[in-house]
Copies of this chain bind each other. A is one copy, B any other.
Amino acid sequence: MDEQSKEEQLLAWVERVAAFFARNNGLPLITGRVLGWLMVCDPPEQTAAQIATAIGASKASLSTAVRVLEASGFVRAVTRPAERGVHLRVADDVWERVARRKLEALGDFSEITADGLEILHDEPARGDRVRDAHRLFSRLEQQIAPLLQHRDDDSP
């Protein structure tokens, strides 16, 4: 039927996701794999051990990966009655968070350019290049922020 089993296809896809986040967000590969896997796994809530075997990583790596993913709010840990340990799932607002974090980077850069202008305040011409940057990124920050408003959700 398929040239590749769906499992293999999914793992290959997870690999692409991991590579993307490694390249664009500086995430360690394994962390990206966890995120990618949690996007497509069935069931959608899995234990660290399950994830580890799925993506072929060690318990230790899972521990650190999950720590950063939880701290970033990308992944949530849920417990179940009468089961020990936690199950992990992607947060409902992962992607808003990812995007918002990128937006923050924009803001950080605006701060840098602002400080640059400060240093060059007595040489306006020399500050032109920095000023251009500052204007563009401040504008973008302001225009993009409203596109990322929290959805007011009260879903179960």
Query: Interface of A with B (CB < 8 Å)?
Result: 6, 9-10, 13, 16-17, 20, 23-24, 26, 38-40, 42, 44, 90, 94-96, 99, 102, 105, 108-109, 112, 115-116, 119-120, 123, 126-127, 129-130, 132-133, 136-137, 139-140, 143-144, 147-148
Specify which of B13, B23, B126, B133 is in contact with A116 (CB 8 Å cutoff): B13
Q: Point out the residues of chain B lying under 8 angstroms from A116, CB to CB.
A: 13, 17, 39-40
In the complex, given contacts A13-B115, A20-B108, what are 17 additional A-B residue pairs having Cβ atoms less than 8 angstroms apart? A17-B112, A20-B105, A23-B26, A24-B109, A26-B26, A39-B133, A40-B127, A42-B123, A42-B126, A95-B137, A96-B136, A99-B137, A99-B140, A139-B147, A140-B148, A143-B147, A144-B144
